[in-house]
Amino acid sequence: MQIGRDTPGCGPLIQPVTSAQRPLRQQVFEHVRALGEIARVQLAKDLRVSPASVTTITSELIEAGLLEEVQAPREGDWGRGRPAVALRVRAGGFHVAGMKLSDHENSAVVVDLSGRVVASASLPRAPGAMTSEQVIDAAVSLLHRVCAACGLQPSDLGGVGLGVPGFIDGVAGVVHWSPILEHREIDLAPRLSERIGLPVQIDNDANLCTLAELWFGAGRSLSDFAVVTIEHGVGMGFVINHRLYRGARGMGMELGHTKVQLDGDLCRCGQRGCLEAYLADYALVREARAALNLPDTEIRSVAALLETLFGQAKAGNPVARSIFERAGRYLALALANVANLFDPELIILSGERMRYDYLYARETLSEMQKMMLETGRDAPTLQIHAWGDMLWAHGAAALALDELTEVMLGAGRDLAAQ
């Protein structure tokens, strides 16, 4: 079952204004994919083009193996006359992989061109930074694992989307910094592409989480929304006019590295006072060691320490509760700033840490409204989604699907060559 898929289709249900600049055949295909199934006459109405144009283009797409016709039930149809015909994306014809590399586990999915997941896989990894070659080896191993799960070879894929935490230049495919890499300025996407012989698109994990919501989740019908991720780090993705915003250099929306305290706690980016240094897993672990009187020599996993801290807070330990309460206040401050700056329709809190209800309790989040500008209008809606690591892999798959669609249907592309 796909993440957040309570409606058919995948991709943004409303295309941005700039979509009119794309070839009509690409608009047709993406509209069919977004709705799941649609009749030609409705397709022509939605896109405001002539039925003849739609018929010509959909015939080409069917011949190319991208669309197919299916019988569609008609309201009030008692079996007389021809059955209604709808269009949908042909399942199983083309595939891409989406992979997420993280601090503790690597996860992947394979999806077909319709967005249907055909396989998923995950591999644990030892904590700590790795060399670029080790990261590439890990990605290749994961790719072979997820392809084997659906009987494909990597060479059968049309592309790969890759998610990595840190500061990523997706256009150049360069990782400027990541907690999973020992060194900076690694041209990870080109090197992985050369290794596997496939095009590789790369982005940071927060952007991919946002793409997952835009393509498969709660953001499909929204023009403007934010996703704030809280796990091993703190990230943010933002959709403006139904499109992911990355900034002029592809590295915008680094909410976790906005400053909340001058000369404050040390962040893993090397600077002090970042939001992440008070809210991320390693920040809570640092506080937990002090609160639980644990010696520095004791080795315990981050997950185990957080579970212990959470257990203490639920049991009423005032010190443990104060750690979650302080982190919650920093979260409320960050969300108020997001609301004041961008005024989104929806803010989604995502990540495994969402299950720690002491950190995200209603009384803590209510502080957000107190810090927001008083405009007389309602605050943005807040939703909590604790999907887990596969959410990021879905976002990476959406990244690869978007690129594959552009390659096959973008300006100057010849369907006959596909």
pLDDT in tens, 71-122: 876 655 555 555 678 999 998 889 999 999 987 789 999 999 999 999 999 9
Same domain? For 136 and 284 the reply is no
Give me the domain span that covers residue 75.
17-89
Same domain? For 256 and 309 the reply is yes
Give phi and psi for 151, each to the nearest 5: 70, 25
Same domain? For 117 and 193 the reply is yes
Burial of 301-335, coded b for 16+ CB within 10 Å and e otherwise, reads: ebeebbebbbebbeeeeeebbebbbbbbbbbbbbb
pLDDT in tens, 146-176: 999 999 999 999 999 999 988 899 999 999 9
Number of domains in the chain: 3
> What's the whole-number average pLDDT of the chain?
86
- Whether 243 maps to a domain, the answer reads yes
Same domain? For 190 and 137 the reply is yes
23: domain CATH number is 1.10.10.10
- Whether 5 maps to a domain, the answer reads no
Assign 207 a pLDDT band (cuts: 50, 70, 90): very high
Distance CA 348, CA 219 (A): 9
Distance CA 46, CA 42 (A): 6
Same domain? For 146 and 266 the reply is no
Distance CA 150, CA 396 (A): 18
Same domain? For 304 and 361 the reply is yes
Same domain? For 132 and 200 the reply is yes
Closest listed residue to residue 204, CA positions, set 164, 244, 173:
164
Q: What is the pLDDT of residue 324?
A: 87
| Residue at which a domain ends, from 89, 121, 136 | 89
Distance CA 54, CA 42 (A): 10
Q: Is the pLDDT of residue 43 over 50?
A: yes
DSSP structure string for 129-167 = -B-HHHHHHHHHHHHHHHHHTTT--GGG-S-EEEEESSE
- Whether 323 maps to a domain, the answer reads yes
pLDDT in tens, 348-373: 988 766 766 666 677 777 888 889 98
The pTM score is 0.86
- Whether 189 maps to a domain, the answer reads yes
- Whether 25 maps to a domain, the answer reads yes
Same domain? For 281 and 197 the reply is no
pLDDT in tens, 257-293: 999 999 999 998 889 999 999 988 888 888 887 777 7
- Whether 9 maps to a domain, the answer reads no
Q: What is the pLDDT of residue 417?
A: 42
Same domain? For 237 and 106 the reply is no
Same domain? For 262 and 336 the reply is yes
Q: What is the mean pLDDT of residues 377-390?
A: 79
pLDDT in tens, 310-343: 888 888 888 888 888 888 899 999 999 999 999 9
